[in-house]
Chains A and B, each alone.
Chain A
Amino acid sequence: MSLKSKLKETLLCLKAGRVTLPYPARGHPAPEGFRGRPVFNAAKCTGCAGCANNCPAREILVLDVCQEIRILKYLGRRCAYCGRCAEVCPERAITMSQEFETATDSIGDLQQRLELFMSTCQRCGRCFDPPSVLEELKLKGYRLDDLANERWVFGSKAYLTSEPAVDDIRIEWD
């Protein structure tokens, strides 16, 4: 409680000037890796409903109207921006954007509704089953032996997709 410490505190604050961000006047972008509102890309979505099954807040609803049409609805109300839907989506159709300026006066503003066409087989009428992980592995190539130099290559360099699903773990292959 000494006077000297109070004076020092005042001088420090005065020297710092004004630290207030001029926020609504000038934008303030979010840092790298910030998880903002999830954005659904209807072009890439296959309607597997993996996101709906994994959402901890049960925020993504799925309704099959008929065999060909599946409606996927994301209500923005309870979303905790955890990012599990984006992580699980096999087609990378969901991205956690950097938007955080989502204040509104009617909560229905945050919803996104996708109507998806599920292609059906002409002969049996059932939907196409996307290949399982093992099947995709077999289709895309598992062995990359070097035929030109007649060398046997250990390990596999063929990933299921071009970039790894998990960003912060770098797995070094051969």
Chain B
Amino acid sequence: MLKTLCQKMSGRSLWVYHANSGGCNGCDIEVLNVLTPYYDVERFGIKLVGSPRHADVMLCQGPALRATAKALRRAYEAMPAPKLVFAIGSCACGGGIWFDSYPVIGPIEKLIPVDFYIPGCPPRPEAIVYGVAVALGLVDKKTAPAQFKQLELPVPRYHPKDLLGSGEMVVYEKAEKV
């Protein structure tokens, strides 16, 4: 009984540890903005703590670099369960513009499992607050994959090379998976 109460309470008070593994600090400043009186994320019960052992959520920014990979992994393992990881900014979500650069391993997912992505370069403080609200279940997420088709297969083709001797046309039916 106490256990269910504790689990319910863990949504009302998230303690956040901020880990920047090599980003440009743009997202750092936006996270700092979120803790100021104007956007005030403390009203959700979120507090910034200085040690990963006290934290529930790790806010990661910056791509995974070779130099800081070990440190990031150790900070993740130092957090006690149950834990969440938020990847903030395009660098943490997918590697950013620097994805093919020499020190960059890739997005943070290559090192630690990520629970929520907040893309943006840098994401607005409202976007970060929105991401936190989605994680807490206060609002629904607004994105979904989109697909447009101008044409459906099979496609008839009239190239003279493809026209068979009897004058029939060739029909394309294959489509490779992207």
Provided the pairs A28-B126, A76-B119, A78-B96 are in contact, do residues A21 and B39 lie with their beta carbons within 8 angstroms?
A: yes
In the complex, are the beta carbons of B126 and A23 less than 8 A apart?
yes
**Which of A68, A78, A102 makes the CB contact (< 8 A) with B151?**
A68
* Known interface pairs A57-B96, A109-B144; 8 further A-B residue pairs with C-beta atoms within 8 A, sorted by A's residue number: A21-B38, A28-B126, A65-B175, A105-B141, A113-B148, A114-B148, A114-B149, A125-B157
In the complex, are the beta carbons of B138 and A24 less than 8 A apart?
yes
CB-CB contacts below 8 Å: A84-114 with B: 99-114
Within 8 Å CB of B116, what residues of A? 103-105
Pick from B95, B135, B143, B175 the residue with the most CB of A within 10 Å.
B143
In the complex, are the beta carbons of B38 and A19 less than 8 A apart?
yes
In the complex, are the beta carbons of A115 and B151 less than 8 A apart?
yes
Is B176 located at the chain interface by the 8 A CB criterion?
yes
By Cβ-Cβ distance, the 7 closest A-B pairs, closest first, are A77-B94, A103-B131, A42-B148, A125-B159, A78-B94, A117-B151, A80-B121
CB-CB contacts below 8 Å: B123-142 with A: 123-124, 126-131, 133-135, 138-139, 141-142
Interface string of B140-178 (1 = CB under 8 A from A): 011111111111010101111110000000001011101
Within 8 Å CB of A144, what residues of B? none
In the complex, are the beta carbons of B139 and A77 less than 8 A apart?
no
Count of chain A residues near B, Cβ 8 A: 52
Is A20 located at the chain interface by the 8 A CB criterion?
yes
Within 8 Å CB of B153, what residues of A? 69
**Which of B38, B117, B158, B162 makes the CB contact (< 8 A) with A103?**
B117
Q: Nearest Cβ distance between residue A85 and chain B, in whole angstroms?
A: 14
In the complex, are the beta carbons of A24 and B95 less than 8 A apart?
no
**Which of B38, B95, B120 makes the CB contact (< 8 A) with A100?**
B120
- Closest-by-CB residue of B relative to A30 is B124
In the complex, are the beta carbons of A81 and B43 less than 8 A apart?
no
Is B82 located at the chain interface by the 8 A CB criterion?
no
Q: Nearest Cβ distance between residue B87 and chain A, in whole angstroms?
A: 9
Q: Nearest Cβ distance between residue A76 and chain B, in whole angstroms?
A: 6
Q: Nearest Cβ distance between residue A72 and chain B, in whole angstroms?
A: 9
Within 8 Å CB of A49, what residues of B? none
Determine the distance from Cα of A66 to Cα of B159 in the docked complex, in whole angstroms. Answer: 12
